[in-house]
Amino acid sequence: MALSLRLFAAFSYPNIFWPDEIFQTLEQGHRLAFGNGMIPWDFRDGIRSWLFPGILGGIMKVTSFFSDGSSGYLAGVTVFLCLLSLIPVWIGFSIGYATSGLASAIITGGVCAIWFELIYFAPKAFTEVIAAYSLLVAIYFGCYGPSHPSRGRLYWTGFLYGFTAYLRFHLLPAIFLAIVYQFRKRNFKELPPVILGFIGPVLLGGILDTFTLSSPFQSIWKLIWINLFAGKFNSFGVSPWHQYFAWLAMNWSWWIVPVVVFCALGARRHWILAALALVIIVSHSFLGHKEYRYIFPALPLILILAGLGTADLVSRISLTRRFTRGKSISIVSGLLVWMLLSWMLSGRFYTDRAFSFDPPWQKLGFTHWQTHGGQLQAYQYLSTEKDLCGVGVRGIAWQYTGGYAHLHQDVPIYFVKDDREIGELKSHFNYLVFNQETPDLEGYRLEKCFGGACVYKRPSPCTVNPDYHINKYLQEKGE
């Protein structure tokens, strides 16, 4: 059920939550797999690891034969990411089963399976999302393992913590807390395998940075330098310390009150999950530049805890019933309530708006499910056009396009501001992507529209502009 929901949402609602999901991961994977792609400032400056883009590039390469253009390998990447997104469902089920039995497992896993944010972020190629999954498995191995775990389990616990730290070093406070909790009552002779496991992926990441960038651990130390001392990230916007709590309240509406109650019930036996979620949110609150995806690793922890609390409440209610099917009815009823609220809240999921505490059933006209999806579909459409020799883009910032990861074809892309630039440059492109439908584009014929992005075609061939390249354009703009 969880996989079906994620695949349905991914293929039915293409969208862009933040440009990084394209240009820091998919686009760089496309460069590795096929040789062409846009290079944003953070890859020019060498502050991003090639680990995740390399994995995505490998998937693109081996799945590109599924279809012409970009749709085949993009589907391969989507399926891969959606399969990884089942990890919170598995961990939620496993924690519930290990601590409270099958009923708790079904409810906790079910909450993770149907919650709209976990479904929405499932196909997103964000390092924060992948780091959340590896952190969650490490927490389960370390904090919910047997009293005397095997050396292999200890090693893989440390390995996953190290992998998480390399992907997203911002999670180090949570990793430290989880390790302290794991060994609070245990023999410290078990600590060396965890340390050894932790060092492995971190060391390999440092070696990877050495060969792909220019120095060991450059994707970590240079990112810290640019963020804390050069103030680069603050130039993208600074939010108050309480922004993450405001987003949670806005996204979950009044349902946040029952969630807090369920989490409080679950925290009586699983306080470490509550502590880890709080550490992740609070530690990120000290940074000026905030994006909702940064605290994604806290969301599965909160939902697992809320699911455990819901299971505890359902167990209490079922004990008051006098017939044998009371527990089953209580389980189904609890999941139906979560499903209804998830469906209602998904229809108002949009963080780029002023804070409002609207009721869950109040829908918004525009949400993250629709943001910039038309551009992605337009680029995928062009990826199979055999006569494509150049693309012009008007009314759409380059950050909110699909890049060559969606366009695939190695042709120049021109971002034009107005009709004058179209007239000056149109000989260099024969297709134009415009953010509106209009009959007034001289020399162009409307081909197709995709949710706000329309494709126009000029029948004449292109002339080569030897002085232009999209990456030269980005470098000149400092973007």
Task: Give per-residue pLDDT as tens, 4-15.
Answer: 999 999 999 999
Give the three-class secondary structure for 227.
Answer: helix
In degrees and rounded to multiples of 5, residue 137 shows phi and psi of -65, -40
Q: Higher model confidence: residue 319 or residue 373?
A: 373
pLDDT of 61 strictly over 60: yes
Task: Give per-residue pLDDT as tens, 12-60.
Answer: 999 999 999 999 999 999 999 999 999 999 999 999 999 999 999 999 9
Q: Give CB contacts under 8 A, 24+ apart, made by 221-227.
A: 222/45, 222/46, 222/47, 223/47, 223/48, 224/169, 226/45, 226/47, 227/287, 227/289
Q: What is the DSSP letter of 23?
A: I
- Least confidently predicted of 94-98, 250-254, 364-368, 448-452: 364-368
Q: What is the DSSP letter of 25?
A: I
pLDDT of 278 strictly over 90: yes
What percent of the chain is predicted at pLDDT more than 70? 97
What is the pLDDT at residue 316? 79
Place of tokens 């000056």: 424
Pick the closest to residue 17 from 166, 117, 115 (CA basis): 117
Task: Give per-residue pLDDT as tens, 381-411.
Answer: 999 999 999 999 999 999 999 999 999 999 9
pLDDT of 293 strictly over 90: yes
pLDDT of 234 strictly over 80: no
What is the pLDDT at residue 320? 64
Q: Give CB contacts under 8 A, 24+ apart, made by 147-155.
A: 147/186, 149/190, 151/193, 154/190, 154/193, 154/194, 154/197, 155/193, 155/194, 155/196, 155/197
Q: Under 8 Å CB-to-CB from 299, ≥6 apart: which residues? A: 117, 118, 132
Average pLDDT, the chain: 93
What is the pLDDT at residue 186? 74
What is the pLDDT at residue 314? 87
pLDDT of 449 strictly over 80: yes
Q: How far is CA 109 from the centre of its chain?
A: 20
Task: Give per-residue pLDDT as tens, 101-113.
Answer: 999 999 999 999 9
Distances in Å between the alpha carbon of 265 and those of 59, 107, 255, 261, 315? 42, 14, 16, 6, 12
Task: Give per-residue pLDDT as tens, 307-350.
Answer: 999 999 988 777 665 555 667 888 888 899 999 999 999 999 99
Task: Give per-residue pLDDT as tens, 158-217.
Answer: 999 999 999 999 999 999 999 999 998 777 888 999 999 999 999 999 999 999 998 999
Residue 359 pLDDT level (bands cut at 50, 70, 90): confident
Beta-bridge partner residues of 456: 432, 446
Number of other CB atoms surrounding residue 451 within 10 Å? 16
Pick the closest to residue 129 from 161, 90, 175, 82 (CA basis): 82
Average of per-residue pLDDT across 230-257: 86
What is the pLDDT at residue 231? 67
Average of per-residue pLDDT across 151-155: 94
Task: Give per-residue pLDDT as tens, 95-147.
Answer: 999 998 999 999 999 999 999 999 999 999 999 999 999 999 999 999 998 87
The secondary element (H helix, E strand) that includes residue 393 is strand 391-394
pLDDT of 440 strictly over 80: no
